[in-house]
Every structure is written in structure tokens, then in C-alpha cells.
Amino acid sequence: MLTAHQPVMVDEAATYLITAPDGIYVDGTAGTGGHSLEICKRIAPEGRLICLDVDRTSLRLAEEQLASFGDSARIVKGSYVDLDRVLQQAGIGKVHGILLDLGLSSYQLEHSGRGFSFLKDEPLDMRMDQDHGISAGELINTISMERLQELLWHYAEERWAKRIARAIIEQRRKGPVATSRELARIVETTIPLKHHPRKIHPATKTFQALRIAVNEELQNLADFLSKAPSMLRSGGMLVVISYHSLEDRLVKQAFREHKHVNGHPRKLPGLPGAEPSLIRALTKKGLRPSQAEVVANPRSRSAIMRVAERI
């Protein structure tokens, strides 16, 4: 029996997102349908929700969960970075709101069998979309030590990146690093015990870096943020829940309020083509889960929600 996924900050996300019950909304990371379910409860039957995700198995679970809402919920396999094309193909101009929850679901961690969790012994896949790209196993068993070190530092700011990269290279000389438990054990034994973090598993950052690299998560997020304002109608909401500083940095940068200079919008550094003058942040410091939610769902502890409005 699958463990029910607990969506993070679900009430806050739906409250900010929905500005009109008869509007058109997008859950760009629908997963198994946690946030989508709450949104549909608030907008059905007048409103419409497009549920987008690259994980086909998660989408099947979402489809089952949302079946009772009929045409109010439309399930689409695809990446949020391609939302502009999805809307165009559906004949939709601008929408009332877009939600992204950038975290892994309980299903992906516990039941997907793709090696997302360092607590399990599974093949090192880590792809959200198993129809495309190379697996984490293929990546770490083929790239150079220098590239692996760079990846661990750039995508997770892992201070032991060099030592971990060297240990992985040494291990793969004996044979491929094939499973999540094998990789976790390498990291655990490489980082000196006295430097093991107190609140997280020592392999947490390594797994984060590999997942980000395999799924091109930061590039996809940056590309999406540069296009998002053009997909929102005036007054529309963009709600993003992120789980680590690299993601939040991109979101905060994109949501930063920019003024017009001599009547022309100032470009957003690092996000070509963005329209920063078209959105304004409504949550300057970001919102955190309540203490009660963290107790009930410890995976929510690192979440931060930022909301921007199309103006």
C-alpha cells in the first residue's frame, strides 16, 4: 500500500494561487496530485486545472485521485519548463495562476524504485522522467573526477566534494557504483565521522546534486521563471515552493521588484528574456511551514514558499 503524500503548505498555496474560482490554473509539478486535489476542491466545477508532470507513474496516481472532478482537472505529461507550448496546444492564452512545488514526493522517495533515497537499496536512476536523459548511475560511472567534484559543489555546495568524487572514482575502478545504498555508504565512509552533519544524512547533499544534474532542475527553473510572467493574466499568481538555497536564490532573484528606467523595464540579471517589471513579490521574506506542519510532516521543514503577482 502506498504511503499517502502530504503536500507541503497546501492551504497557503491554494489560498494564494486562487484568485477566481472560475479561473484556469496550472499545477506544474502535480506529482501524485496532493496540491491539485485541494485546488480542484476550491475551483470545481466552474474552474479548470492543468496538472503537469514528467513522472508518468505519479500522474497515473494523480489521475485516480482527481477522477471525480471530471473536466475540471486535465492531466498532461510534460515539464513545467514547456508550459508555454502546453498552453498553446490547448488553445489557452493566459492563466490565473501557476503553482510549482519543487520537492520530491513521498511516492518517489519510497516507492518509485529509482534510487532517490539514500535509505534504500535501489538502482541509481534518479530521473523524474524515465523516458528521457541518462540515469544518475550512468552519470557518476562515466564522468571525470573533476567534473564530478564540480557537480557536487555547484549543485549542493558539498564541502567534501573533492574527497567524495575521488572515493567514487576509486570505487568504480573495481566495478560500477550501481545502487543508492552503495553510493550512500561511499559518502558516509568518506566524510570524517566528526564532520557528519547532525540533522541530515551525510549523503544528503551528494544525492541532491546528482538529482539536480540528472534532471537539469536549476536550468529548467531558470528557463521557466524567465517565461512565467508572459503566461499569467493581470492579477495572476505565481506560487513556488522550494527546498534548498540554490532553488530559492533563483526564485528570489526572479521575484525581485524591478522599476522602470526611463520608461523601459530593467532586465533581470541571469534570466535572459525575463520581464521583471511585470511581477511583484507578495512574500518578501518567503513563507515557512508552521511548527505544527513540520511536526506532522518533517519533510516540510526546509520548504520556503514565495508568491508573486502579475501586474
Tell me how far apart the alpha carbons of residues 71 and 98 are, in angstroms, rounded to a whole number: 18
Query: Cβ(78)–Cβ(220) under 8 Å?
Result: no
Find the helix packing angle between 245-255 and 217-231, rounded to 10°: 20
| Structural domains of the chain ordered from first start | 10-107+217-310 (3.40.50.150), 113-215 (1.10.150.170)
Tell me how far apart the alpha carbons of residues 137 and 115 are, in angstroms, rounded to a whole number: 9
Integer angstrom CA distances of residue 78 from 83, 123, 155, 166, 300: 8, 24, 24, 36, 25
For 194, half-sphere exposure in the C-beta direction (CA atoms, 13 angstrom radius) is: 0
Nearest to 219 by CA among 55, 29, 56, 80: 80
Q: How far apart are the first and last CA of the chain?
A: 45
Q: What is the dihedral of CA 45, 232, 39, 219, to 10 degrees?
A: 140
The kind and range of the H/E element at 96 are strand 95-101
Residue 236 CA to chain centroid, in angstroms?
21
Instruction: Kindly give the confidence (pLDDT) of every residue in the chain, 311 residues in length, as a single tens digit, with 9 standing for 90 and above.
Output: 344 568 999 999 999 999 999 999 999 999 999 999 999 999 999 999 999 999 999 999 999 999 999 999 999 999 999 999 999 999 999 999 999 999 887 778 887 889 999 988 999 999 999 888 999 999 999 999 999 999 999 999 999 999 999 999 999 999 999 999 999 999 999 999 999 998 889 999 999 999 999 999 999 999 999 999 999 999 999 999 999 999 999 999 998 854 333 333 444 444 555 444 589 999 989 999 999 999 999 889 999 999 999 99
**Cell numbers for 121:** 537499496
Nearest to 13 by CA among 83, 101, 113, 72: 101
Across the chain, how many H-helices and E-strands are there? 13, 9
